[in-house]
Amino acid sequence: MDKIICVCEDSVDGIFTAIYKAWEIGTSKTLIEIRGIKTMTLFAEYIEVNTDTELASKVAASIHSKISEEVYYYVYRAALSDDSDKAQYIYEFLLKAFRMGKDIIHKLQDESVMKIFELARKVGNESHKYLGFVRFCELENGILSAKINPLANVVSIVAEHFADRLHNENWVILDTTRNIAAVHRAGYGFVLTNDISEQDLDQFSNKSENEEKYQLLWNRFFDTIAIEERKNKKLQQQLMPLRYRKYM
Amino acid sequence: MVIQNDMTTMEKLTILSDAAKYDVACTSSGVDKKNNGQGMGNAQACGICHSFSADGRCISLLKILFTNECVFDCKYCVNRSSNDVVRATFTPEEVCSLTMEFYRRNYIEGLFLSSGIVKSPDNTMKLLCETVMLLREKYHFGGYIHLKGIPGASPDLIEAAGWYADRMSVNLELPTADGLKALAPHKTRKNILTPMRQIQNGIIDNKNQNVIGSNRGYNASRNLILSNSELNLEASSNKQIITNITRMDYAVATQNKPKFVPAGQSTQMIIGATAESDYQIVTVAEALYNQYDLKRVFYSAFINVNKDSTLPAQTAGVPLLREHRLYQADWLLRFYGFKSNELLSEDKPNFNVLLDPKCDWAIRHLEQFPVEINRADYYTLLRVPGIGVNSAKRIVKARRSSKLTFEDIKKMGVVLKRALYFITCVGKMMYDTKIEENYITSNLIGIDKKKTFEIENHNSYKQLSFFDDVGYNISPDHMEGIKALAGQM
């Protein structure tokens, strides 16, 4: 029998909605794919799944209550990954997880567990690097503005960190690969906004009076702090790969 | 001595960061704290690297000296009083605005403030205290502060600093008292160990204290810094969102009870300036961990910056491989349950150049191998070359549900090309290998040769980073990395 492929939006809610639908249809005959990433196959039936936050939160809630917080943490992070097969991996993993319960996360000899573990770790590593490598630039109205170009969709993780750290600042972090921005108003939380391009942001990007000065000071510090006798560019690049430096 | 006035911030920063670069510790780890809601900043126990300098070292903190004027004349130090270098001094306000502006732009995790000894140790310590007080109370900085304890400063001032810093460090400088006497005539072992002990006791007391007790200590210290001080804590600009901060607010907001050096203390030793053996150094480090509860001991490969004729000439370059081996051994002491006398002895006082300390140990104890992956306890697994903290933990958890194969443990991060001589899976070794000293040694040296060469010729020497996974070839995952760094294992 042909498989039924549920095609969904590339978001946590999108994937969770598709899992709900696929479950309803029957787990033995369904697969899940992210929209627009994979080539369509001939011998399969395709169903378009529209993201439904209510259904998605039902799935999230049952992961929390029937499996564990920890499993939710891994699945959530895996869902942010840039892997083209992630939706199917998460689906397979959750089918097992609902059967086996919270201890599944330690069963790394199982291929689908290992897969989720790796995806989550990769997303975690990238977002952790960005916590350090994000560079804010002060605009003339005092707003701090930053751009990142991550592989995975880490802007929400990164923004959460800065919402606490720079609580009393107005700031925006734009993911230029996805055109998603996290916007934070001083004293409040942050919101994610879609469809903001780099050009949109650049329109309001007149630097503040002091910005240049502090950038120069920082560059000087960066140069003088290195020890000539220990110079090692290869190591520097290994720890801070070039792709992170685009907006540094 | 050249003392210039009217320098720009840029000039001062150039001189005072250049003068601070030989200090090793740039970690921002060991404490988790939220923003207090009133100022700027928080801290993550895992520490965050904000950049990597051209030597591959992590930049996490704004590492500067308050001043490079110094009345001491330590032979190894670029700032010694007998050197004819340009001297500069920051004002507390300058340090604060640099820290705040860098922090806002996410260049740094916080401030690492050290200093030359200007006039006297007490005078210097007071200046450092005033600066961090200003940063905390006027600028409401909630990020990470690492402060140097100045040897010879009065206990009151050391304590005062402890209420404002997250981490403090008093540098041991040289592994033995004799070395110190020879190279740092103005410092004594006693002057270094006394504040170290005091900080240790302060941390313990603070843990047992209630809110009232801690506040009493905190307030007394605060008054001490403010006495005879021209410090102005009034916020000058109207940009500050918060105005009427009462003096208790900072303490109250940071988890109700003032914390004394919450990220613990560290120290550093210079390696290769004096004739100590690796065994002596490792024994000293072990004693510091056990008797002084240090979070970290850092090792700094000696660089003869002063070209001082009484110090080693360094024709062979900076002793980076030795430093690397010491860090590997340090890791074994802290996380792998090794004792210094297992790694080295009076008869074998130095590390093997060709093999890392763990492989070296394993080869000398072949009678304890092979171990069975599906049965051996956690600490036994940790002693196998090629198995690190993360992979050992994963194995222990995963084997509960089913027997593990070589393929499985490889995916979990075990480096099989090292481990295969020392383990069995379900009773079988991976290949039909001999468990024989010479055979295994030559195979393992083959694996390490390239790396050892690269470190010695400093090509791709992997600097100890936050994730300190050097030599174990397993990149810790994020959460476990966090624990490793915070010393929570």
In tens, the pLDDT along B343-377 reads 999 999 999 989 999 999 999 999 999 999 999 99
What integer is the mean pLDDT of B407-423? 95
Q: Do A132 and B394 touch (CB under 8 A)?
A: no
Q: Do B104 and A240 touch (CB under 8 A)?
A: no
pLDDT at A126 over 80: yes
Residues near B171 by beta carbon (within 8 Å), at least 6 away in sequence: B23, B148, B151, B192, B267, B268, B269
B142 pLDDT band, cuts 50/70/90, is very high
Q: Do A168 and B462 touch (CB under 8 A)?
A: no
Residue B184 near residue B173, CB atoms below 8 Å: yes
CA distances from A81 to A124, A153, A176, B189 (A): 10, 6, 16, 53
Q: Which residue has the higher pLDDT, B243 or B403?
A: B403
What integer is the mean pLDDT of A118-123? 96
A166-210 pLDDT tens trace: 999 999 999 999 999 999 999 999 999 999 999 988 887 899 999
pLDDT of residue B1: 52
Q: Does B107 touch chain A (CB under 8 A)?
A: yes
Cα–Cα distance measured from residue B296 to residue B168, given in angstroms and rounded to the nearest whole number:
11
Q: Does B462 touch chain A (CB under 8 A)?
A: yes
B122-140 pLDDT tens trace: 999 999 999 999 999 999 9
User: Shortest CB distance from A230 goes to which of B38, B458, B479?
Assistant: B458
Return residues 150-179 of A near B (CB < 8 Å). 161-162, 164-169
Contacts of A216 in chain B (CB under 8 A): 10
Answer yes or no: pTM beyond 0.95: no
Cα–Cα distance measured from residue B440 to residue B435, given in angstroms and rounded to the nearest whole number:
7
What integer is the mean pLDDT of B286-300? 95
CA distances from B214 to B255, B258, B260 (A): 12, 6, 8
pLDDT at B313 over 90: no
Q: Does A242 touch chain B (CB under 8 A)?
A: no
Cα–Cα distance measured from residue A72 to residue A62, given in angstroms and rounded to the nearest whole number:
10
Return residues 467-486 of B near A (CB < 8 Å). 475, 477-479
Longest dimension (CA), chain A: 67
ipTM of the complex: 0.94
What integer is the mean pLDDT of B380-405? 95
Average pLDDT, chain A: 94
Cα–Cα distance measured from residue B62 to residue A205, given in angstroms and rounded to the nearest whole number:
27
DSSP 3-state of B252: helix
User: Shortest CB distance from B105 goes to which of A214, A223, A226?
Assistant: A214
Q: Does A3 touch chain B (CB under 8 A)?
A: no
DSSP 3-state of B80: coil
Residue B320 near residue B456, CB atoms below 8 Å: yes
Residue B317 near residue B266, CB atoms below 8 Å: no
pLDDT of residue B3: 57
pLDDT at B414 over 70: yes
Residues near B140 by beta carbon (within 8 Å), at least 6 away in sequence: B36, B38, B39, B40, B240, B242, B245, B250
pLDDT at B251 over 60: no
Copy the structure tokens of residue B44.
């993550």
Q: Are strands A137-138 and A44-48 parallel, antiparallel or unpaired?
A: unpaired
Helix (H) or strand (E) holding A199: helix A198-202
Q: Do B42 and A164 touch (CB under 8 A)?
A: yes
**Peptide bond before B319: cis, by omega within 30 degrees of 0?**
no
- Report the percent of chain B where pLDDT is more than 70: 87
